[in-house]
Structure 1
Amino acid sequence: MKENIVFIHGLTGSKRAFHKEIDYFGHDYHTYAYDLVGHGKERGKAVEFTLDNLVKQLDILFEQEEIEKAHICSLSYGCYPSTIFSSKWKERVLSLCYIGGHYNSNSPLFEVFRHYWDSSNEDYSKWLKNYSEDLFPKEGVLDPYSFISAKLYYKYGLELDKGILKKAIGHRLEYDLRSDLKTINVPVLWVMGDHDSLYKSSIEDLTTVIPHVQYKEIHHAGHAANLFRPTAFKRIYEEFLKGIN
């Protein structure tokens, strides 16, 4: 009997962020992806972008698809609904995979969040452009990964209701995700791109928060490592899933 995998994209993205994984893993698993509140067909619409609604959305997917248990793989901000869901309904989660995941810590990443939370009343386009560039700072002359990440974040962020990214900053500053992560006892895979230094700054104590975590870095990849190096990510995730079974 096939197990289930649910993929959750990050901010400004869509369920298509995992279309290659959906196709690849669909041979051996039942695979699912969906658009977060305010994304996909709701892009540009004013929505109630709350953590409660994001977690409820995942719960509804489980009910509609009659999923009893699933592996959950989330990208970037998707780590918030996936972790909160897992802490509420531990019996429904087989494993967790985080790509570019992050959590509340005294780090350069959270200093960026604090700065742009305080300056969120500026003109949205200007605010978003500066925010995008500071989220993905260049690590050197030969660093296309940060340029691509910032460009796409700005482009698709402009298409969202302007309250979404600002509210997402508030979620990360106000919600104690670290405490939820400490309660996770299912297998955990944490994947980061080697050129994702700012986001990596928030997880320096990862093995203390999740002692049993399997940490992997993908070379020549930025924040959304599965998009930069899909073949490398699929190999790592497949090995992880097979190791569980």
Structure 2
Amino acid sequence: MDQLAAVEEKTVEVFGMKLRYLEAGPANAPTILLIAAPFLRKETWQLTGHFDAFAAQYHVYALDNVGQGNSDKPLINYSIGTLVDFLGGFMDAVKIQKASLVSTSIGAWAIIVFALRNPDRVERLILITPEGIAPQPGELNPRGVDLNPATLEGMRRTLDVLFFDKATWTNDQTVKALFSDKMQADYSFVFQKLIESGFVRGEFMVDAQQLSQLRVPTLFVWGQQDEIVTLSYGRRYASLVAGARLLVIENAGHLPQLERPAVFTSAALEFLSGR
């Protein structure tokens, strides 16, 4: 198979907006599309080693969806539906007919909706701690929707609830770096609109009847110590999708792929191979 020389960062126009993405891997291999959570960036997949591990066997794209990372952030009324529409537009623009989709949190919620609308375009799903079903009492931490802090101390509290390993992820250097990133006015606008749409108005929630129609092989991934959406929520979610697997990663919170990257990568590659 022909190899791309290296990871390439590219730009494509979708609905008049410029979306940035990374691309690498054997040109004729099956396609994997990595979409970070709206509060992360496409480069996160590189920092944890996931991108390179996948690109050794697959043709891999890592996307900054609209409103995210280095992609355009128009002042529009963002919702899960916005992310879904731009994901489909991106796949059309770069001529991806079918791919395995991987995402986290709100991003994972969006790819569930995409798969329900476009089952013929999805090979497999890897869903890392998605929201998207109505929570039962105690399953959703209200602090989990406050990921747009306006102070350094607020950022520290946010990281404290996101991660199990508090010492590593709430140190001063990490807090200041992430706080600086989140101070972008456009980022604040995007995330607030997504929260209002998904969590305040409950738009694009999926139910048991809809999830029973999800026919693609699906892997749910949950941190055992997730403080934002509990493991019981994850177990209930996975039980609604026929044949779905649930991987529980110990000593990890809401972003288990960041806290335990080797565990996640190994399980993801096994699942993608069909084993």
Which TM-score tier does this pair reach, normalised by the shorter chain? 0.7 to 0.9
CA distance in 1, matches of 2:137, 2:160: 15
In the alignment, structure 1 residue 10 sits paired with structure 2 residue 37: yes
Count of aligned pairs between the two proteins: 235
Moved over 6 A (4+): none
Q: Which amino acid aligns with 1:177?
A: M
Per-residue CA deviations over 1:89-115 (Å, capped at 9, x if unaligned) read 101101100112222312435451798
Q: Which amino acid aligns with 2:114?
A: F
CA distance in 2, matches of 1:216, 1:153: 28
Q: Give the % identical residues.
A: 22
Mean Cα deviation higher: 55-64 or 5-14:
55-64
Which residue of the partner structure matches residue 112 of structure 1? 142
Task: Give the conservation status (yes or no) of the 8 Å contact 2:141–2:227.
Answer: no
- Structure 1 residues 114, 145: CA separation in 2 closer, same or farther (over 3 Å shift)? closer
In the alignment, structure 1 residue 75 sits paired with structure 2 residue 108: no
Task: Give the conservation status (yes or no) of the 8 Å contact 2:102–2:126.
Answer: yes
Root mean square deviation of aligned Cα:
3.2
CA distance in 2, matches of 1:187, 1:35: 24
If the length of structure 2 is used for normalisation, what is the TM-score? Answer: 0.72
Task: Give the conservation status (yes or no) of the 8 Å contact 2:159–2:170.
Answer: no
In proportion to residue count, which structure has more helix? 1
User: Relative contact order (alpha carbons < 8 A, sep ≥ 6): 1 or 2 greater?
Assistant: 1
If the length of structure 1 is used for normalisation, what is the TM-score? Answer: 0.80
Which residue of the partner structure matches residue 100 of structure 1? 129
Which residue of the partner structure matches residue 184 of structure 2? 159
User: Residue 167 of structure 2 is aligned with which of 144, 147, 155?
Assistant: 144
CA distance in 1, matches of 2:240, 2:88: 25
Which residue of the partner structure matches residue 21 of structure 2? none
- Structure 1 residues 139, 97: CA separation in 2 closer, same or farther (over 3 Å shift)? closer
Shift of residue 204 of structure 1? 4.3
Which residue of the partner structure matches residue 186 of structure 1? 216
SS in 2 for 1:28: coil
Task: Give the conservation status (yes or no) of the 8 Å contact 2:35–2:62.
Answer: yes
Which residue of the partner structure matches residue 197 of structure 2? 171
Mean Cα deviation higher: 45-54 or 27-36:
45-54
- Structure 1 residues 159, 84: CA separation in 2 closer, same or farther (over 3 Å shift)? same
- Structure 1 residues 34, 58: CA separation in 2 closer, same or farther (over 3 Å shift)? same
